[in-house]
Amino acid sequence: MKMNLLVPIICAVLLGYLCASFIFNQYGVASFTFQEKGDVYFLQCGSYNTEEASSQPIQGVDEKITVKQGGKYYSYIGMTSDMEIAETIKNLYNQKGVDIYIKEVHLENEDFLNELTQYDVLLESSDTLEEINSVLKTILATYDEIILNS
C-alpha cells in the first residue's frame, strides 16, 4: 500500500518542480529585458537657473524641449536608447559648434520606450544632420505627449 502512494507523490513533486522551473525561467527573462530597456540617453544642450534663460534660442539648435528638474531648467534636443547613436549625434552637433551632453536616465514608461526603439532604427539609418533633426523633433513631440502631458 505504501508503494502505491509513493509513486503518485513522486510524480506530483516532479511535475510541480518542472512547472515551477519553466515559469521561473520565463519570469527571469521578462524582468531582465525590461530593466535593460529602460535606459534612455538624453541629449542635453543647456542647463539654466531661470525659465526665461531657458527659452532663449541656441544657435545651431532648431528644436528643443525644456524640463524643470530640481529647481533648474534643462534643455534637450532629443533622446535615444542607444549610446552609440547618442555619441554620433553629440559629435555631429559638436562639429557644428553646439555643446551637447549625454545624460543617462532610467524611464519605466513602456509606451514611450517602445516608440523610442522604433525611432532609434530611423536615427541609425539617417545620414545627414537634417534627417537626424527631423527624427529628433518627432521624438521630442512623442516625449512631450506621453511623458510630460500624462
Q: What is the mean pLDDT of residues 71-89?
A: 94
Q: Judge if 63 and 12 occupy the same domain.
A: no
Domain count, the chain: 2
Name which residue leads in pLDDT, 3 or 71.
71
Strand partners, 65: 76
Looking at the structure, do residues 30 and 83 belong to the same domain, yes or no? Answer: no
Question: Are 48 and 113 in the same domain?
Answer: yes
- Angle of CA points 74, 76, 82, to nearest 5°: 125
Same domain flag for 46 and 115? yes
Residues 15 and 88 in one domain: no
30-70 pLDDT tens trace: 444 444 568 999 999 999 999 999 889 888 888 999 999 99
**Mean pLDDT value across the chain:** 86
Q: Are residues 15 and 42 in the same domain?
A: no
**pLDDT at residue 103, as a whole number:** 95
Question: Is residue 11 predicted with pLDDT exceeding 90?
Answer: no
Domain residues for 3?
Answer: 1-36
- Please give the radius of gyration of the chain, using alpha carbons only, rounded to the nearest integer: 24
Q: What CATH code is carried by the domain that includes residue 107? A: 3.30.70.1070
CA dihedral 96, 86, 63, 125 (to 10 degrees): 90
Residues 60 and 83 in one domain: yes
Helices (H), the chain: 2-37, 51-54, 83-95, 110-125, 129-143
% of residues, the chain, pLDDT over 90: 57
Q: What is the pLDDT of residue 106?
A: 92
Let me know whether 43 and 28 are in one domain.
no
Do 79 and 140 have their domain in common? Answer: yes
